[in-house]
Chains A and B, each alone.
Chain A
Amino acid sequence: MSQTTELPTLTKKDLTSDQEVRWCPGCGDYAILSTVQSVVPELGGPREDLVFVSGIGCSSRFPYYMDTYGVHSIHGRAPAIASGISASRPDLKVFVMTGDGDALSIGGNHLIHALRRNVNLTIVMFNNQIYGLTKGQYSPTSELGKITKSTPAGSVDHPFNPVSVALGAEASFVARSIDNERAHLSEVLRRAAEHEGTAFVEVYQNCNIFNDGAFDAVRGNKEQQIRLEHGEPIRFGADGERGVALAGTGELTLVDVAAVGEDALLVHDAHREDPGLAFMLSRLAHTPTGPTPIGIFREVSRPVYGQALQAQIDDAIARRGPGDLAELITGRDSWEV
């Protein structure tokens, strides 16, 4: 769309809107906003080609703070609205900013269908395991037994593991990061944004008001972070003394590297066609209370919805020529009176 021949280099400031940010002081959303504003200029596209779409919830205020095109839409519907933008305009770079309630509860259907279609979207899901904007009800990622205003006796809802959901929905790119791990989050977001198709990134985000410390087992606790690097043996711990291995039972286990030897470790392959191993990795920590994998679980190439749609149109025009309205409405069986 844009005719710019020499791309002006965007800065973080160019992407910062004049709107006052209204998240609670100390909220993890600030760090994510700042990281996104730093990463997006690195992508190299012009500002006018950027669109941020969100649903409803704390995280969904995000587009107001970005000086780009943006839609703050309806609770849960951001993937649908963004799909219409992206499918009809493959030239744009479209982000969906969403939360765990928005994406996995009210909008779960739209999320999984966007993922299977592989529309060109970068979906960033802020997971704080709580409903923040409505003041603290349990969410579809809250742990069993969670005591909230709507579950005074503890939640009896089994939670989703968002990475498992995305992998089950045929997503071509699935990753996880943490709000305050700036370098890691930057790298994951950059790769997600560069991915062709739907990229899904779960970001552990601290809601210091209604669910403070929900991720403390891994957030700021590098020893518990199992950092997935494509092509590398999966190791973690203070000195990489622990690792992940495929047991004879066909399950993944956490092992002592010294005990099993480095060759026994599973080498991470994000490009595997089959999502089975990625899914098993996601199950290492159903809720992030112990060692938890972060990084890119899966990154494969699949036809992109908007491009495929456009290709059919191009093909039809190439074969039949551009449509002729008079011919269309007259049809083949007409008569003169």
Chain B
Amino acid sequence: MTKTAEKVDTVTIRFAGDSGDGMQLTGTRFTSATAAIGNDLATLPDFPAEIRAPAGSLPGVSGFQLHFADHDILTPGDDPDVLVAMNPAALKANLGDLAPGATVILNADAFTSQNLKKARYAADPREDGSLEQVRVVEVPITTLTVGALEDVPDLNKKQKQRAKNMFALGLMSWMYSRPTAPTLEWLREKFASQPTVAEANIAAFEAGWNYGETTEVFDHRYEVAPAQLPSGRYRQITGNLALSYGLVAAADRAGLRLFLGGYPITPASDVLHELARHKSFGVQTFQAEDEIAGIGTALGASFAGQLGATVTSGPGIALKAETIGLAIAVELPLLVLNVQRGGPSTGLPTKTEQADLFQAVFGRNGEAPLPVIAAATPGDCFHTAIEGARLALRYRTPVIVLSDGYLANGAEPWRVPDVDDLPDLRDDAAFTTEPNGPDGEFLPFLRDEATLGRPWAVPGTPGLEHRIGGLEKAEGTGNISYDPDNHHRMTELRQAKVDRIADDIPPLEVDEGEGPGPRLLVLGWGSTYGPVAAAVRAARREGHAVAHAHLRHLNPFPANLGEVLARYDRVLVPEMNLGQLRTLLRARYLVDVQGYNRVRGLPFTTRELVEAIAAQLTDVDADR
């Protein structure tokens, strides 16, 4: 290589184009090459709900942001250093997110008067001064792509143009010194059955690379050294993939078969797709006629002795509420995974939000408590799914596991755990095979004294035939009971069973940082982990004392939570909702918890959280 490489420690780039331009694929591929180098990384795919909004229009813009570094990072980055904009709409939709001095690589061919009109530009932004704050590099990406494919036979111009995303990928790969071999190999494999298409994409990718190397526009390239992550074997993983693997792992560690009843819904469908591929693990997937049947089949499978699970997003949970109530009443293990998205109603299907916490904790008729837990990062979805299975099996209860759109599609390097280090769930999953009553009878609602869980006797077991149902049951026998005192007792027992879990989970750990004892605690849950942790780091760098803690268990809370909250003058809970955890904490602990709340469909930026922290600190000082 002839051009020199400048070493940088962190870079954020964003690919943006039309939904049909293949930006998600381009971003994902760049991510894989980045993971292979050993950088730490975090991604933020951001795409419209429409499969193909009108070409060239603003609603049709699809983006993929990637933050990578030579040290550990926690977020997909606030504002991109480089924006690749494949058309005017992509430029317009993303320009506002750029800091002054950022680089914008434009596909000059796409800046036709027609496209400018579709993007609702009155004048060409390249000529009216609106790009003054950024460094603009115009590249005729489409022309160069078609030119590079001159010798590729059997493809018309339109088909050749379609490879332009690979040109962009090649150029960016050159610019940031990404290895080319994995991408070339991937292209060959992906288009193995269409050799011409493979050839075209490879030629476009190489043309992009060579363009960077030869054109005078770029006088040097960049290098980002591998990050020093804790040792181990790493892979790249998204939240939905980790959730799927977590379910397979949980069933494996429990010695059960996994049964997933589901119904297509964004952004949860990938879990259904992924699990459908793992039949060699005995996994059964059942695409039901609706969300209700999705959970109905899963509960039936649980009754029959499988690890029953259902995966959906908020509107699907609304439909499943009645069956979750039945699962609480019949006290069977069941995993209910909610990949949250913007609401209410259909809301923002492809955007992230964490506004289903109330729904998870309270969203059923009657007194219907169940454990609720939430994943913090894409990789953490794996361990959270296993924790959900542990609680479901040990306490014979449905468990709601919360993820969200950001975790679902976001990627990060993940240290692959040693299978032998995963919890052994076999005892928790043990079926009852012998009668348990004093007179040799079977009492399906005679509880385990430690967990208050009831016996799991599956059909096919002789002598343990029994009936369960949604009507209130008599303690012990499980026969229908309308007795007032029995109902009160059973209601308390179901609550006590869930409350007891507080003693079976780790106490909340607080990271106090170094230096003087902080007076402000920032408490997060779910996918805000990355932005909150990054903001706390940044605030500390600015000399502030801030404590940070993160909740995985949202019902019940860790046993020490009240005591932790009482230790600080101020508690700040940033949430992508209007203050749901804050309300729960205030009600439960009578602490005047403060919130920072935004529902923009996007994860928090580090910057806004640093500002929120600073504002709280000013308040604390004023109170002194």
Contact = CB atoms under 8 A, between A and B. Distances in A.
Interface string B428-472: 000000000000000000000000000000011111111111110
Nearest to B462: A48
A51 B459 contact: yes
Interface stretch (A200-208, A216-224, A247-255, A323-331): A323-331
Interface in B286-331: 286, 288-290, 292-293, 296-306, 308, 322-323, 326, 330
A66 B249 CA distance: 37
A110 interface: yes
A115 B5 CA distance: 66
A325 B418 CA distance: 10
Given A326-B419, A329-B382, A71 B38 contact: no
B280 A320 contact: yes
Contact of A69 (B236, B415, B466): B466
Given A64-B480, A334-B233, A85 B304 contact: yes
Given A1-B460, A4-B462, A84-B296, A323 B301 contact: no
Given A48-B464, A322-B280, A333 B182 contact: yes
B596 interface: no
A2 interface: yes
A325 B459 contact: no
Given A82-B300, A84-B308, A333 B35 contact: yes
A110 B248 contact: no
Interface stretch (A146-154, A263-271, A288-296, A308-316): A308-316
A19 B479 contact: yes
A157 interface: no
B624 interface: no
B240 to A, nearest CB: 14
A331 B233 CA distance: 11
A36 interface: no
Nearest to B463: A48
B488 interface: no
How many chain A residues sit at the interface, stated as a range, is 35 or more
Q: Is the interface of B mostly helix, strand, loop or mixed?
A: mixed
B230 to A, nearest CB: 7
A311 to B, nearest CB: 10
A109 B322 CA distance: 16
B609 to A, nearest CB: 29
A336 interface: yes
Contact of B280 (A53, A92, A316): A316
B138 to A, nearest CB: 34
Interface string B19-39: 000000000000010011010
In this complex, which of B231, B235, B257 has the most chain A Cβ atoms within 10 angstroms of its Cβ?
B235
A307 to B, nearest CB: 12
B126 interface: no
B299 A322 contact: no
A74 B322 contact: yes
A233 interface: no
Contacts of B323: 74, 77
A70 B478 CA distance: 12
B232 interface: yes
Contacts of B300: 53, 71, 80-86, 88
Contact of A335 (B234, B304, B461): B234
A87 B301 contact: yes
A48 B459 CA distance: 6
A92 B460 contact: yes
Contact of B330 (A63, A71, A331): A71
Contact of B286 (A77, A87, A331, A337): A87
Interface of B: 32, 35-36, 38, 182, 226, 229-236, 245, 248-249, 252, 257, 259, 261, 278-284, 286, 288-290, 292-293, 296-306, 308, 322-323, 326, 330, 382, 415-419, 459-471, 479-480
The 3 A-B pairs of least Cβ separation, nearest first, read A84-B300, A72-B469, A1-B460
22 contacts: A2-B460, A50-B459, A53-B300, A64-B469, A67-B465, A70-B465, A70-B468, A77-B292, A84-B297, A85-B303, A88-B259, A88-B304, A89-B459, A109-B290, A313-B280, A326-B419, A328-B245, A329-B249, A334-B233, A334-B234, A337-B231, A337-B415
